C-alpha cells in the first residue's frame, strides 16, 4: 500500500503556530501553505532511507560475520564484544533440586523458583514474582538498585510453599540473569562494561555485579549464593536447549536486543588458558553494538544524538522495542511541523519524547478496519489528535517502514551468525535442523516484525536451506535457563 498524499491545506492560506518544535525550540511559524513540504514527500524519503533491499541485508549479514571473527580474535577487535560466557556445558535434562533465578534486564525485574525433577519429571514446579523497575532506580545509585533487588528477593524467599524443597542446611543458589554488557571473569562473576536500554545507574560500571548483589544481600540479611551469572540470551539458549538439542543460537528482541550462540573453542583465538572439555562454549555477541551498513534516517540520527549513549548501540536503536515507537514519533512530529499532518498545530502531546511506544505502533498495525478506528483512538490517546482516514493511513505507513527495517535487519543479523558457524563447521548448520530460540516482547507480540524477520532469513538463505533453520519462540526460557545453569554450577554434590 502506498499513500501519495499531501495533507497541506489549500494554496495561499496563511497559518501561524506557536507550538514547540521537536528540537524543543519555541516556534512561531507563518507560511504560505503552498510552501509547506508535502507529507507524502517526507514519507517517501523515510521509506527510501529505511529501505532494506537484498544488497543491504546481504551486506549486513556479511559484516556481522566479519565483526564476529574480529571480536573473537582479540578483545576490542570489533564493535561486537563476543564475550566469553564461561558456560561450557548446557543442561542435560538430569538437573535436580530447588534453584532460583533473578532476572534484571529491561523494564521488569523477576524472581523465580524452580523445582527440577531430572530426566523424567523435568520442571516439577515454578513460581515467580515480577515487578516493574521504578523509573527513579534506573537513574539512581548502584546501591539503591541492588538493595531493591535484594529486598524483593528476601520477600520472595519468605513466601516459599510446601512443594518447594531444599535439603536441610543447604544455601539457596541463584542463577542471576543480568542483561547488560558484562565482561565475565568466571561463571559467577563479571564486570559491567556499560549500561544500555536507558539505564544510567551510577557506580556500577567497572564493578563486579555479583559482588554488588552479594553486598546488597548482606545489607538486607538474605542468605543466598549466586552460582551462575548469565546474560538473558545465554539463559534463553540454556532454557531452550533443555527441551531441544538442535538449539544453537538464542536471540532476544525486547526492550533491547542481543544474540548468543554455541562456538567451537578452537575458533576463539582470544581464548587464553584451559579449554573446556566439551570443546564448545557460549559466546555472547552483544550484537546491539553492531553498526556497519545499517540504513539510517534523520530521525534515527536525531534520536541517537538525544540519547544517553550517543553513537552506541546503533543496531539496537534500529531494531529493538525501546526505540521503534520513538523513531516513528519523530517522523510524525516532522510531518506535523513541516507538512501540517494533523492540522495547523503540532500536537503538543506528540512532542514528548517516547510518548509513542512500540506497543502503540504494534496495535495500530493490527487494525484491519476500513476506517482505521483503532489507529484513530490510539492517536487520540497518545497524541491528543483527531485524525482523518488519510492521516491514519500515513501513520500506519510510517510505522510499517520502521518495523520492516527492524525485522529485516534482525533477520540479516541471524543469518550473519548462522553463516559464520556454517563456514567453520561445514554442513553442521545448514544441512540439518538448526533451531534459533527467540524471546522478548517485541518478537512475541509483533506479528509483522516476525514475518519481516523471517522473510529476510528466507531471502538470504534461499528457500531450501531456510527450511532447515527453525526460528522458534522460547517463551520466558531465560528464567528456567538461569536456574538450570545455577544447577549445573552448584557447589553441592549432584549426580547429573
**Is 197 in the active site?**
yes
Nearest distance, CB of residue 235 and ligand BGC, angstroms? 9
| Smallest separation, CB 120 to ligand BGC (Å) | 33
* Nearer to ligand BGC among residue 241 and residue 392 (C-beta): 241
Residue from 85, 179, 214, 365 touching ligand BGC (CB under 6 A): that is: 179
The cell for 20 is 514547540
Q: How many CB atoms lie within 10 A of CB 2?
A: 10
Active-site choice (232, 300, 304, 360) = 232
Site stretch for ligand BGC (CB under 6 A), options 55-63, 174-182, 350-358, 468-476: 174-182
Residue 286 interacts with ligand BGC (CB under 6 A)? Answer: yes
Q: Which stretch binds ligand BGC (CB under 6 A): 176-184, 349-357, 379-387, 403-411?
A: 176-184
Q: Does 254 participate in binding ligand BGC (rule CB under 6 A)?
A: yes
DSSP string, 222-238: --EEEEEEE-HHHHHHH
Q: Which is nearer to ligand BGC, 172 or 197 (CB)?
A: 197
Least Å from the CB of residue 143 to ligand BGC: 22
Q: Which is nearer to ligand BGC, 50 or 250 (CB)?
A: 250
Q: Output the smallest distance, CB 320 to ligand BGC, in A.
A: 7
Q: Which one of 17, 115, 142, 196 is in contact with ligand BGC (CB under 6 A)?
A: 196
Size of the site for ligand BGC (CB under 6 A): 18
Contact window for ligand BGC (CB under 6 A) among 108-116, 178-186, 213-221, 270-278: 178-186
Residue span binding ligand BGC (CB under 6 A) among the ranges 51-59, 139-147, 250-258, 348-356: 250-258
Query: Is 365 among the residues that bind ligand BGC (CB under 6 A)?
Result: no
256, 347, 416, 481: residue in contact with ligand BGC (rule CB under 6 A): 256
> Is 180 among the residues that bind ligand BGC (CB under 6 A)?
yes
Whether 16 contacts 30, CB under 8 Å:
yes
**156 forms part of the interface with ligand BGC (CB under 6 A):** no
With CB under 6 A as the contact rule, the residue among 288, 321, 325, 376 that binds ligand BGC is 288
Residue whose CB is less far from ligand BGC, 316 or 391: 316
Measured from the Cβ of residue 114, the count of other Cβ atoms closer than 10 Å reads: 25
Nearer to ligand BGC, 286 or 337 (CB): 286
Of the two residues 190 and 411, which places its CB atom closer to ligand BGC in the complex? 190
Judged by CB under 6 A, the chain residues 71 through 130 that form the site for ligand BGC are 105-106
**Whose Cβ is closer to ligand BGC: residue 104's or residue 415's?**
104
Instruction: Give me the least distance between CB of 287 and ligand BGC, in Å please.
Output: 9
Residues from 228 through 247 that contact ligand BGC (CB under 6 A): 231-233
Q: Pick the piece of the chain touching ligand BGC (CB under 6 A) from 203-211, 251-259, 328-336, 414-422.
A: 251-259
By beta-carbon proximity to ligand BGC, the closer residue of 257 and 334 is 257
Catalytic pick from 81, 197, 317, 420? 197
Report the helix count and the strand count for the chain, using DSSP H and E: 17, 15
By CB under 6 A, name the one of 257, 291, 358, 488 that touches ligand BGC: 257
430 closest CA partner among 411, 417, 444: 417
The reply to whether 491 belongs to the active site is no
The DSSP symbol for 276 reads P
Alpha carbon distance 269, 222 (integer Å): 41
Report if residue 252 touches ligand BGC, rule: CB under 6 A: yes
Tell the smallest beta-carbon distance from residue 438 to ligand BGC (Å).
12
Closest to ligand BGC by CB, 58 or 207:
207
Query: Among residues 73, 56, 173, 55, which one has the least CA distance to residue 114?
Result: 173
Instruction: Report in angstroms how near the CB of residue 195 gets to ligand BGC at its nearest.
Output: 9
Rule CB under 6 A: say whether 439 interacts with ligand BGC. no
Q: Which residue is nearest to ligand BGC (CB)?
A: 256
Quickly list DSSP for 317-373.
HHHSHHHHHHHHHHHHHHHHHHH-TTSSS--TGGGSTT-S-HHHHHHHHT--STT-H
Residues serving a catalytic function are 197, 232
Q: Report the interface residues with ligand BGC, using CB under 6 A.
A: 105-106, 179-181, 196-197, 231-233, 252, 254, 256-258, 286, 288, 316
Amino acid at each position: 500500500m502506498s499513500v501519495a498524499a499531501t495533507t497541506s491545506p489549500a494554496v495561499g492560506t496563511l497559518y501561524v503556530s506557536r507550538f514547540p518544535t521537536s528540537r524543543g525550540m519555541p516556534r512561531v511559524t507563518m507560511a504560505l501553505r503552498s510552501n509547506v513540504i508535502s507529507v507524502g514527500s517526507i514519507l517517501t524519503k523515510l521509506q527510501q532511507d529505511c529501505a532494506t533491499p537484498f544488497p543491504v541485508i546481504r551486506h549486513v549479514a556479511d559484516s556481522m560475520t566479519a565483526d564476529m571473527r574480529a571480536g573473537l580474535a582479540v578483545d576490542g577487535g570489533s564493535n561486537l564484544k563476543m564475550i566469553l560466557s564461561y558456560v561450557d556445558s548446557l543442561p542435560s535434562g538430569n538437573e535436580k533440586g530447588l534453584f532460583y533465578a533473578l532476572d534484571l534486564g529491561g523494564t521488569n525485574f523477576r524472581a523465580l523458583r524452580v523445582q527440577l525433577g531430572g530426566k523424567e519429571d523435568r520442571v516439577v514446579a515454578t513460581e515467580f514474582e515480577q515487578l516493574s523497575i521504578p523509573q527513579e532506580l534506573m537513574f539512581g545509585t548502584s546501591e539503591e538498585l541492588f538493595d531493591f533487588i535484594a529486598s524483593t528477593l528476601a520477600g520472595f524467599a519468605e513466601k516459599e510453599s510446601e512443594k518447594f524443597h531444599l535439603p536441610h542446611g543447604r544455601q539457596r543458589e541463584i542463577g542471576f540473569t543480568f542483561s547488560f554488557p558484562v565482561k565475565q571473569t568466571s561463571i559467577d562473576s563479571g564486570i559491567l562494561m556499560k549500561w544500555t536500554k536507558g539505564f544510567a545507574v551510577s557506580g556500577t560500571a567497572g564493578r563486579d555485579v555479583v559482588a554488588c548483589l552479594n553486598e546488597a544481600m548482606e545489607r538486607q540479611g538474605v542468605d543466598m549464593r549466586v552460582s551462575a551469572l548469565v546474560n538473558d540470551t545465554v539463559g534463553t539458549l540454556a532454557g531452550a536447549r533443555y527441551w531441544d538439542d538442535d538449539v544453537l543460537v538464542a536471540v532476544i528482541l525486547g526492550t533491547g536486543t542481543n544474540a548468543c550462540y554455541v562456538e567451537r573453542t578452537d575458533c576463539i583465538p582470544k581464548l587464553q588458558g584451559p579449554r573446556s572439555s566439551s570443546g564448545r562454549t557460549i559466546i555472547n555477541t552483544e550484537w546491539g553494538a553492531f553498526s556497519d551498513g545499517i540504513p539510517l534516517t534523520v530521525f534515527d540520527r536525531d534520536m541517537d544524538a538525544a540519547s544517553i549513549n550517543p553513537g552506541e548501540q546503533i543496531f539496537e536503536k534500529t531494531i529493538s522495542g525501546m526505540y521503534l515507537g520513538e523513531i516513528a514519533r519523530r517522523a510524525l512530529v516532522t510531518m506535523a511541523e513541516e507538512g501540517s499532518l494533523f492540522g495547523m498545530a503540532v500536537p503538543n502531546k506528540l512532542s514528548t519524547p517516547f510518548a509513542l511506544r512500540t506497543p502503540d505502533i504494534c496495535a495500530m498495525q493490527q487494525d484491519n478496519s476500513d476506517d482505521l478506528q483503532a489507529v484513530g483512538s490510539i492517536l487520540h490517546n497518545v497524541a491528543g489528535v483527531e485524525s482523518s482516514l488519510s492521516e491514519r493511513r500515513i501513520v500506519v505507513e510510517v510505522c510499517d517502514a520502521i518495523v520492516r527495517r527492524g525485522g529485516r535487519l534482525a533477520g540479516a543479523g541471524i543469518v550473519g551468525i548462522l553463516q559464520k558457524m556454517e563456514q567453520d563447521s561445514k554442513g553442521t548448520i545448514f544441512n540439518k535442523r538448526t533451531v534459533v530460540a527467540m524471546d522478548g516482547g517485541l518478537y512475541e507480540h509483533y506479528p509483522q516484525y516476525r514475518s519481516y524477520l523471517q522473510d529476510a532469513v528466507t531471502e538470504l538463505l534461499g528457500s531450501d536451506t531456510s527450511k532447515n533453520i527453525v526460528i522458534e519462540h522460547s517463551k520466558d526460557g531465560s528464567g528456567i535457563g538461569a536456574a538450570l545453569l545455577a544447577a549445573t554450577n552448584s557447589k553441592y554434590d549432584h549426580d547429573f
